[in-house]
Structure 1
Amino acid sequence: MITLNLHQVFKTRGITKGYSFLVKNGISPGTAKSLMYNKPRAIRLDHIEILCKTLVCEPSDLFTYTPEKKDTLPDTHPLKKLIRDPEEASLKQTISHLSYQELIEIKKLIKSQKTSPSAPIKNE
Structure 2
Amino acid sequence: MIHFNFSRIFKLKGIVRPFTYLTKNGYSAGYATKLTNNRVHEINLVRLEKFCRDFNCTPNDILDFKPSSNDSISKDHALHTLTKKELDTELIYKINALPADKIQQIHNILKEME
Larger radius of gyration: 1
Specify the SS of the correspondent of 1:21.
helix
**In 2: Cα distance, 1:35 partner to 1:106 partner:** 28
Q: Name the TM-score, length of structure 1 as normaliser.
A: 0.67
Shift in CA distance, 105/2, structure 1 to aligned 2, threshold 3 Å? closer
1:29 and 1:106 mapped to 2: Cα distance? 34
Query: Residues 31 and 107 of structure 1: is their aligned pair in 2 closer, same or farther, counting only changes over 3 Å?
Result: closer
Instruction: Structure 2: state its 5+ residue gaps.
Output: 96-101
Question: What SS is found at the alignment partner of 1:69?
Answer: coil
Task: Provide structure 1 residue ranges, at least 5 long, that are not aligned to the other structure.
Answer: 109-124
Partner in structure 2 of residue 72 of structure 1: 72
- % of aligned pairs identical? 29
Q: Quote how far apart the aligned CAs of 1:62 are.
A: 0.8
**Alpha-carbon distance, 1:38 to partner:** 5.2
Secondary structure of the residue that 2:79 maps to in structure 1? helix
Question: Which one has more relative contact order, counting CA pairs under 8 Å at least 6 apart?
Answer: 2
Residue-by-residue CA offset, 1:51-75 (whole Å, 9 max, x unaligned): 2112111111112111111112233
Picking from 80, 85, 93, the partner of 2:91 is 93
Give the aligned length. Answer: 104
Letter in 2 for 1:63: L
- After TM superposition, the runs of 4+ consecutive aligned structure 1 residues lying more than 3 A away are 105-108
